Structure 1
Amino acid sequence: MAHKSHRQKALKAQLEEQPVISLVQPLSSSSSSKTPQSPSSMDVDDDDGDVMITSAPVIDSSTSTSTLPSTVQASSSGFQPLSNAAQSTVLKNEFRRVAIPPHRLSPLKRDWVNIYTPLVEMLGLQVRMNVKRRAVELKTSGHTVDSGAVQKGADFVKAYALGFDVNDAIALLRLDDLYLDSFEIKDVKTLHGDHLSRAIGRIAGEGGKVKFTIENASRTRIVLADTNIHILGSVQNIKIARDAVVSLILGSPPGKVYAHLKTVGARMKQRF
């Protein structure tokens, strides 16, 4: 009992010396110069149980974010944000090679002047025809300004390789919302023999009449290469043209497709 009363007196004396324990204390100049210490704790054993009083680390709420080190001001990923100059730089020595099918080599040689001229003047790329590899090679130069110039040039050359005219493919360089979409007839329906031939005939029409009508109504360009169908246009227009071609593949008569295109065209005019 004497030992217990002596312990209670010592605890009472310590509590009188430190009557208030604050979890958040102002940061003084003297304490900032000292090295941080581990949180102090005081354990008191009693018959009823254990009591632990812990003082939390000191945080000064008046410190502004401008005085924090650069590592704190970084983003959540831990990296500093790029400057405007770094974001606007173009990747140097970016290279792209576009393969040309054998049946498009002769048209490529014939229209070569009309192909490399916009690539050099509009995009500032270095272009050459690799006859051995049967490909067109594109590379950035010191005059390249656009970071996506190589991709635009590759899309332009690929569109020409698929069968589009140069004047139609050059729209990929001038506009940003044009894309290429390719699919096969067998992706829609598996057809063989005369059924496949009749499906191709329904898409083309007599003298290409049906294909031209779909192009004019949907404001796209369509290339029908055997069983492959390539469509050049915006996302919305590509969807309209693809739906019309799919209907023809499934067996719809051209008259029904014309009526649907007329309705869609009127709806597009009202929207815009």
Structure 2
Amino acid sequence: MQSSKAPAPMEVEIAPREQKSEGALPAKPKFEPLKAHEMSDGRVQFRKVSVPPHRYTPLKKAWMEIYTPVYEQMKIDIRMNLKARKVELKTRSDTPDISNLQKCADFVHAFMLGFDVIDAIALLRLDELYVESFEIKDVKTLRGEHLSRAIGRLSGKGGKTKFAIENATKTRIVIADTKIHILGSFQNIKVARDSLCSLILGSPAGKVGKAVAKPGNGRTPCKSLEKKNYYYMNLVLQLKFNRLHCQSLNSAKNREEDVKPKAISL
């Protein structure tokens, strides 16, 4: 027997909708930076640095000083390939940044060029340091004794001139035969390079040292060096011209005295 009462309607609670403000953007997604082993489809990246014959023994002696910061601080694997005579570097699974591999390669390359480990290790700590290399023949073609004197002017007595330029420009300089390597920031390398070029061209070491240490009057050392070299060359040319002019006058005077008849004494 069916009841005559109709079923009671169901009570439904409607939750109030949150009104979104116009122009609101969703929260920015946060992606963690990829690690070295996650880049390039998980492939390990390598770098190889050749070892010159004259740096093989220094590398043996300073191996632990090179190995420790590269392996422990930069998290890069390093080994010496005795057969190929190359230092090999590769990334690890815990390498924090892929740029560490290139920094370590630059550090090892700087040591191979002749820089001390204490100086070259700055490449691992600072991003704005570079190594620039050039040869003496790139500035001026010199041969024989002229080349030897130019190298002597660059170094100075006991390395005095080289140390003065290093301290004034906050750089490190290596003079390896006719090749010159400079380690420092971009602007400091430019100032040191201009000073070394002036020495190669023949400027006295004293003038170059003063120009680097005290540029003065708001002028850059490069401009002051160029101006001094210009005055110096003009002075040399003027002295040579005066000397030749005096010699020509003296020779003409001597010829006139030879031609003039001598008085006969009675």
TM-score interval w.r.t. the shorter chain? Answer: 0.5 to 0.7
Alignment partners' CA distance in 1, 2:178 and 2:56: 21
Query: What is the aligned partner in structure 2 of residue 180 from structure 1?
Result: 131
Q: Does 1:242 align with 2:193?
A: yes
Distance 1:162 1:246 in 2: 20
* Offset, 1:264: 3.5
Q: Quick check: 1:258 aligned with 2:209? A: yes
Helix, strand or coil at the partner of 1:127? strand
Change (3 A) 1:266 1:137: farther
Contact 2:35 2:93 in 1 (8 A): no
- In the other structure, the counterpart of 2:89 is 138
Write the distance in 2 (CA, Å) between the matches of 1:215 and 1:182.
15
Q: Corresponding residue for 1:32? A: none
Q: Which residue of 2 aligns with 1:206?
A: 157
| Range with bigger deviation, 126-135 or 223-232 | 126-135
Structure 2 partner of 1:89: 35
The partner residue of 2:112 within 132, 144, 161 is: 161
Q: Which residue of 1 is the match for residue 56 of structure 2?
A: 105
What residue identity is the alignment partner of 1:146? D
CA distance in 2, matches of 1:240, 1:255: 16
Q: What does the per-residue CA deviation read over 1:162-199, in whole Å, with 9 as the maximum and x for residues that have no partner?
A: 00000000000011110000000000011111111110
1:127 to 68, 75, 78: 78
Corresponding position of 2:98: 147
Distance 2:216 2:70 in 1: 34
The 1:166/1:143 distance shift into structure 2, 3 A limit, reads same
**What is the alpha-carbon distance in structure 2 between the residues aligned to residue 147 and residue 141 of structure 1?**
10
- Ranges in structure 2 where 5+ consecutive residues have no aligned partner: 1-22, 220-266
Any stretches of 5+ residues in structure 1 without a counterpart? 1-63, 67-81
Matches within 5 A, 1:30-69: none
Aligned-residue sequence identity (percent) comes to 59
Q: Is the 8 A contact 2:35 2:95 kept in 1?
A: no
Aligned residue number for residue 14 of structure 2: none
Tell me the matched-pair count.
189
What is the SS of the residue equivalent to 1:139? strand
Alignment TM-score, normalising by the size of structure 1: 0.66
The answer to whether the 8 A contact 2:171-2:184 is kept is: yes
Select which of 165, 182, 194 maps to 2:145.
194
The amino acid of 1:231's aligned partner reads I
Distance 1:226 1:117, change over 3 A: same
Q: Normalising to structure 2: TM-score of the pair? A: 0.67
Q: What is the Cα deviation at residue 216 of structure 1? A: 0.3
Two-structure CA RMSD over aligned residues (Å): 2.2
